[in-house]
A and B are shown apart, each in its own frame.
Chain A
Amino acid sequence: MIKYIVRRTIQAIPVLFGITIVVYGILLAAPGGPTAKFAQNPRITQEMKEDFKRAWGLDQPVPVQYCRWMGFCSKEVDAKILGVLPAPAAFIGPKGWPNLLPTPLSGASNGVLHGDFGFSISTGELVNKAISRAALPTLILASSALVVWLVVAILIGVYAAIHRYSLFDQAATVFAYVGYAMPTFWLGIMLIFLFSGPGLNILPAGGMTETRVSPPFGSDDYWVYFGANTVAAILDIGKHLILPLFTLVVVSIAGDSRFVRASMLEALGQDYVRTAKAKGLPARTVTFKHALRNAMLPVVTNIGLELPLLFTGAIVTETIFSWPGMGRLTIQAINSFDYPVLMGILLIAATLTVFANLLADVAYAVVDPRITY
């Protein structure tokens, strides 16, 4: 098992490497760019633009930019081959070892390989810092969404399968179709309208904390406040969490409750379930020990493939509900052509996706004894 996980992790390296190239390529091909925002501003001269480009290294040929961003090349060496490719000398770090080696060996600290995603073009802040500030809110939203999603989808699916064609099953079917068909942004806005509008007004329309009471989430002041009023702070976040959470999970629950139901129905019709009944086992044991475990096999894979939805779904949801997470940061970065931030986010999302798949495969192997590595 450990060997399998290690092997899969090593296999992920070329995949992730490929992803960095693709991500870079896509952003290059996209119209606009970091300098686009100056186009409309008459006070910015051509000279200032050149200075800006030089300062950010945007004057360099693309391969050099990429190598520096990745951390293959040293930033200090300007030498190039044919004026396009980085010269061999550029691959040597300050200590005379290859630049891509870990910092203590190479002396280099630039680039993704050294954990450095550069600076945000729009705020000048370290990308690492911007992302880590946004990571916790997204983690809170995504992990609570994951729990609600799995528990609710499995409960609905299993119950509907056991009581097939019952009123509950039919209601679940209707919910699934409606939920699946509903656009996330529309659902979010409707929820705000319903629960935060002038009528009910029982839930906050956005944000993560009550701004009149607590400092902005993630700031140093906030943690002081959090330490002093832990329970109130957690309840406050919980209250702000309800609507975005619901918006985020509805589609997944709608789809997966159907999937669980189908899978469970199939398992309930299998010969081994009949055997379990013939052994005199109580209905509960037959359903949960014998049928459900088998029914979960395809579900586990499916969920692994759907995990990235939490991230992509968060982009829309966080924007609607001003949730200060990665999704909102993504939109902000796109709007301001903040490529370093965007690249960092995309790379992290890709890594998470690759490991979500690995996790699904491992989980599958754990529940199915027929899988060998």
Chain B
Amino acid sequence: MTETLSAPAPLGSPPAHEVLLDVRDMKTHFKVLDGIVPAVDGVSFSLGRGQTLGIVGESGSGKSVTALTIMRLLDIPPAVIGAESEVWFDGREILHMPLDSMRRIRGKDMAMIFQEPLTSLNPVLSIGEQIGEQVRLHLKVSRHEARDRSIESLRSVGIPSPEARIKQFPHEMSGGMRQRVMIAMALSCEPKLLIADEPTTALDVTIQAQILELLKVIQQRTGSALLLITHDLGVVAEMVDHVVVMYAGQVVEQGTANEVMLEPKAPYTMGLLESIPTAEKRGGRLSVIKGVVPSPFHLPPACRFEPRCPYAWDLCHEVAPELYPVVGSGSGRRARCHLHQAAGESRRVAALELHADAMRVGRGLKEDPA
């Protein structure tokens, strides 16, 4: 780990062509006054061309930092990126490439939509200018053509009378409209990967559904890959093929959306699902995960979920669990929990039953209007 910084770590080999994005052992730490925040601590996942992946987790689990690290948008320092971390995108390693090369990828092949639509647009530049400058930069087209393309991409995200809109400024638009502008901007150069970091969190509930629907339609139409970050498991079920669940800077579970939603294997994911208010569980007692997210400065010694885990036992306090393959599932199915290795065999069955009960309780109550 503490090799000389002058010699860059030798890179691994590129992933297969079908893999668009391959994140390998990503470590992003922040050096702050109080110490080091391991915001992302050894995260790996991959995303195929044209596919969709969701990253789910509570606030502070490191979702945004993961996305910003991929985009190389963090200031270094305070951020420190692990020397052994790699991000392969479209056949190239991008985490350690010169920033100038990365700039040619950003906004063109890889675009991002942010959590805060209200502040993510420049208040003193017109919408047309903000989209147009990106188009001119990457596609090397004339001002006139850039304008036409801007109008076209505004139209494609369902903004009415785009010819008039390009002359407007962000403050003249609602939050939902601004997020549509952000999406139009991200799509303006037809990226291969679209990263959307909680694109609807800051919006009204009615607008949220519209924006998500729009993202889905656009993803299907353009065939770009989508990395959707959210803390809402309901959104995941609607939107993506694969899911990565994060807790305290680590991946704790991964699999297809169906697998993770219907048969969660990590206690953290189970807790998340039990706490979703569904139609079936209405009226029933909602369980929330007890306890709080651990402070990044005082992480539990072994399993980071141990203080809050209803199934924890001695081992969880002593040995950090790895991301074990889930017994009887495909290769992409993994969970970071001792329940999924030999030593947890017996407890696993009990835990899964307890979870199934928790999910059933609500359904039972619904049939019995007590």
Chain A residues within 8 Å of B, Cβ to Cβ: 270-272, 274-282, 285, 289-290, 293-294, 297, 367-370
Using known A-B contacts A272-B122, A368-B124, determine if residue A279 contacts B107 with beta carbons closer than 8 Å.
yes
Contacts of B122 in A (CB 8 A): 272, 275-276, 290, 294
- Is the pair B137, A281 in contact by a Cβ cutoff of 8 Å? yes
Main secondary structure of the interface of A (DSSP, over half): helix
- Is the pair A270, B105 in contact by a Cβ cutoff of 8 Å? no
Looking at A274, A282, A294, the one whose CB has the most chain B CB atoms below 10 A away is A274
- Is the pair B119, A285 in contact by a Cβ cutoff of 8 Å? no
- Is the pair B124, A279 in contact by a Cβ cutoff of 8 Å? no
- Is the pair A277, B73 in contact by a Cβ cutoff of 8 Å? yes
Using known A-B contacts A272-B121, A274-B120, A367-B124, determine if residue A280 contacts B114 with beta carbons closer than 8 Å.
no
- Is the pair A280, B120 in contact by a Cβ cutoff of 8 Å? no
- Is the pair B114, A369 in contact by a Cβ cutoff of 8 Å? no
Q: Does B169 interact with chain A (Cβ within 8 Å)?
A: yes
Contacts of B114 in A (CB 8 A): 271, 274-275, 278
Docked pose: A271 CA to B64 CA in angstroms: 13
- Is the pair A369, B171 in contact by a Cβ cutoff of 8 Å? yes
Contacts of B123 in A (CB 8 A): 272, 294, 368-370
Q: Does B103 interact with chain A (Cβ within 8 Å)?
A: yes
Q: Does B134 interact with chain A (Cβ within 8 Å)?
A: yes
Closest to A367 in B: B124
Name A278's contact: one of B106, B126, B138 (CB within 8 Å). B106
Q: Does B190 interact with chain A (Cβ within 8 Å)?
A: no
Docked pose: A324 CA to B105 CA in angstroms: 61
Using known A-B contacts A272-B123, A294-B122, A367-B124, determine if residue A281 contacts B134 with beta carbons closer than 8 Å.
yes
Give A276 Cβ to nearest chain B Cβ, in Å. 7
Using known A-B contacts A278-B111, A281-B134, A370-B169, determine if residue A270 contacts B106 with beta carbons closer than 8 Å.
no
- Is the pair B116, A280 in contact by a Cβ cutoff of 8 Å? no
Q: Does B71 interact with chain A (Cβ within 8 Å)?
A: yes
Name A280's contact: one of B106, B125, B126, B182 (CB within 8 Å). B106
Contacts of A270 in B (CB 8 A): 119
Contacts of A297 in B (CB 8 A): 124
Looking at A277, A279, A289, the one whose CB has the most chain B CB atoms below 10 A away is A279
Name A369's contact: one of B116, B133, B169 (CB within 8 Å). B169
Using known A-B contacts A271-B120, A369-B123, determine if residue A280 contacts B73 with beta carbons closer than 8 Å.
no
Docked pose: A289 CA to B71 CA in angstroms: 21
Name B124's contact: one of A274, A276, A285, A369 (CB within 8 Å). A369
Docked pose: A277 CA to B110 CA in angstroms: 12
Give A97 Cβ to nearest chain B Cβ, in Å. 51
Q: Does B108 interact with chain A (Cβ within 8 Å)?
A: yes
Residues of B in contact (CB 8 Å), total 28
Contacts of B133 in A (CB 8 A): 279, 281, 285, 289
- Is the pair A280, B119 in contact by a Cβ cutoff of 8 Å? no
- Is the pair B105, A280 in contact by a Cβ cutoff of 8 Å? yes
- Is the pair A282, B119 in contact by a Cβ cutoff of 8 Å? no
Contacts of A293 in B (CB 8 A): 124-125
Q: Does B215 interact with chain A (Cβ within 8 Å)?
A: no
Closest to B112 in A: A278
Docked pose: A344 CA to B103 CA in angstroms: 60
The 9 closest A-B pairs by CB, nearest first: A280-B107, A280-B106, A279-B107, A271-B119, A272-B122, A279-B134, A369-B169, A271-B120, A280-B103
Contacts of B105 in A (CB 8 A): 280
Docked pose: A290 CA to B133 CA in angstroms: 11
Using known A-B contacts A280-B107, A370-B171, determine if residue A275 contacts B137 with beta carbons closer than 8 Å.
no
Contacts of A271 in B (CB 8 A): 114, 116, 119-120
- Is the pair A282, B103 in contact by a Cβ cutoff of 8 Å? yes
Docked pose: A281 CA to B111 CA in angstroms: 12
Docked pose: A285 CA to B122 CA in angstroms: 13
- Is the pair B121, A279 in contact by a Cβ cutoff of 8 Å? no
Docked pose: A231 CA to B18 CA in angstroms: 72
| A-B CB contact pairs (8 Å), 26 listed | A271-B114, A271-B119, A272-B120, A272-B122, A274-B114, A275-B114, A275-B121, A275-B122, A278-B71, A278-B73, A278-B112, A279-B106, A279-B133, A279-B134, A280-B106, A280-B107, A280-B108, A280-B134, A280-B137, A281-B103, A281-B107, A282-B103, A285-B133, A289-B133, A297-B124, A369-B123
Give A208 Cβ to nearest chain B Cβ, in Å. 42
Docked pose: A181 CA to B105 CA in angstroms: 49
Docked pose: A297 CA to B120 CA in angstroms: 18
- Is the pair A280, B112 in contact by a Cβ cutoff of 8 Å? no
Closest to A293 in B: B124
Q: Does B239 interact with chain A (Cβ within 8 Å)?
A: no
Give B361 Cβ to nearest chain A Cβ, in Å. 42
Docked pose: A270 CA to B119 CA in angstroms: 8
Docked pose: A225 CA to B171 CA in angstroms: 58
User: 8 more A-B contacts (CB under 8 A) besides A274-B114, A275-B121?
Assistant: A272-B120, A277-B73, A278-B107, A281-B133, A281-B137, A290-B122, A294-B124, A370-B123
Contacts of B120 in A (CB 8 A): 271-272, 274-275
Give B257 Cβ to nearest chain A Cβ, in Å. 27
Docked pose: A297 CA to B123 CA in angstroms: 11
Closest to B102 in A: A280
Q: Does B31 interact with chain A (Cβ within 8 Å)?
A: no
Closest to A296 in B: B124
Q: Does B185 interact with chain A (Cβ within 8 Å)?
A: yes
Q: Does B104 interact with chain A (Cβ within 8 Å)?
A: yes
Contacts of A272 in B (CB 8 A): 119-123
- Is the pair B73, A274 in contact by a Cβ cutoff of 8 Å? yes
Docked pose: A369 CA to B126 CA in angstroms: 9
Docked pose: A370 CA to B104 CA in angstroms: 32
Give A267 Cβ to nearest chain B Cβ, in Å. 10
Docked pose: A276 CA to B71 CA in angstroms: 12
Contacts of A289 in B (CB 8 A): 125, 133
Closest to B171 in A: A370
Docked pose: A272 CA to B130 CA in angstroms: 10
